[in-house]
């Protein structure tokens, strides 16, 4: 009898402890399911593809997938001069590729979440680099600690850089703003999908590095609700 009581107490304790099964880390998106990784600070969903683009062409949304896509590693960084990696090795921790349009979602620990149905505010962190360098997979832009401390969802993403992102050739029918198209597409992805991760699409802020103060324009005012300029008092949305 005493042994049965001990077993019952043990089972009660086990059932009372919150656990994370594999399915707890699977999230839906508009394009398919993704599986992230769990840590003490929260959950990370890394390298989620948000767009595809031919060279010197406007990016478009990715095609849907059927299997659960692993979101446990950063995607490749967009092509850029090696000199930037040599001067800041820690900012170049992934391979380079022209197929680089991926994003990362960081969420706070679910165990600390508020009442069921609560939606977190969202911070989109657009990396700098003077439109030529860096990647959302850099440790500089890891948003997990911020998501945990501020109780928000943080999103970072890659966009095309340098000539592949901004080259304008006179006499050729190209816009030269491919990197900006990528940014807009990523912001639209956030609007369409962040609720799957517990985010509120009506509470989306954007934080920009120094070289990105021209990223926000009238074209993104309807996507970003509030614009936070880190380094310049510039607000084209007139919020």
Give tens-digit pLDDT for 139-150. 888 999 999 999
Does 13 score more than 70 pLDDT?
no
Per-residue model confidence (pLDDT) at position 211:
53
Amino acid 93: pLDDT? 63
In a domain, 6, yes or no: no
Q: DSSP per residue over 182-228, as a string?
A: HHHHHHHHHHHHGGGGTEEEEEEEEEE-GGGTTS--TTTTTT-SEEE
Overall number of domains in the chain? 1
Confidence of residue 110 (pLDDT cuts 50, 70, 90): confident
pLDDT tens across 161-212, in order? 988 988 887 776 667 889 999 999 999 999 999 999 999 999 998 876 655 5
Per the domain annotation, does 202 fall within a domain? yes
Q: Find the mean pLDDT for residues 53-69.
A: 95
- Residue 28 sits at φ, ψ, to 5 deg, of -80, 155
Nearest to 143 by CA among 27, 34, 71, 44: 44
Backbone angles phi, psi at 224, to 5 degrees: -90, 125
- Domain-located, residue 9: no
Show Cβ contacts of residue 154 under 8 Å, excluding neighbours closer than 6 positions.
105, 106, 122, 123, 124, 125, 143, 144, 146, 147
Q: CB atoms < 10 A from the CB of 100, how many?
A: 28
Q: Which 3 state secondary structure label does DSSP give 10?
A: helix
- 28 in a structural domain: yes
Enclosing domain of residue 33: 23-229
> What pLDDT score was predicted for residue 158?
95
In a domain, 222, yes or no: yes
Asked, for residue 12, whether it belongs to a domain, the answer is: no
User: Quick check: is 50 in a domain?
Assistant: yes
- Contact at 8 Å (CB) between 97 and 44? no
Residue of 125, 109, 137 whose CA lies nearest to 183: 125
Q: What is the CATH number of the domain that holds 179?
A: 3.40.50.1820
Average pLDDT over residues 210-220: 51
Most confidently modeled of 92-106, 107-121, 222-236?
92-106
* Residue 115 predicted with pLDDT over 50: no
Cα–Cα dist 68/155, whole Å: 20
């Amino acid at each position: 009898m005493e042994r049965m009581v001990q077993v019952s107490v043990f089972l009660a304790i086990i059932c009372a402890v919150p656990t994370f099964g594999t399915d707890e880390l699977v999230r839906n998106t508009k394009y398919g399911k993704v599986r992230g990784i769990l840590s003490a600070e929260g959950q990370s969903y890394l390298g989620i593809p948000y767009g595809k683009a031919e060279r010197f062409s406007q990016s478009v949304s990715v095609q849907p997938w059927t299997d659960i896509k692993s979101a446990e590693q950063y995607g490749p960084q967009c092509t850029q001069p090696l000199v930037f990696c040599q001067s800041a090795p820690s900012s170049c921790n992934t391979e380079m590729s022209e197929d680089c349009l991926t994003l990362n979602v960081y969420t706070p620990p679910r165990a600390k979440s508020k009442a069921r149905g609560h939606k977190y505010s969202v911070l989109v962190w657009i990396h700098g680099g003077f439109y030529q360098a860096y990647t959302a997979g850099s440790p500089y832009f890891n948003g997990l600690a911020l998501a945990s401390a501020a109780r928000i969802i943080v999103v970072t993403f890659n966009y095309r850089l340098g000539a592949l992102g901004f080259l304008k050739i006179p006499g050729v029918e190209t816009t030269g703003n491919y990197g900006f198209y990528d940014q807009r597409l990523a912001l639209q992805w956030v609007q369409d999908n962040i609720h799957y991760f517990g985010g509120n699409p009506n509470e989306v802020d954007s934080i920009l590095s120094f070289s990105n103060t021209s990223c926000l324009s009238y074209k993104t005012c309807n996507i970003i609700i509030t614009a936070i300029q880190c380094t310049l008092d510039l607000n084209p949305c007139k919020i």
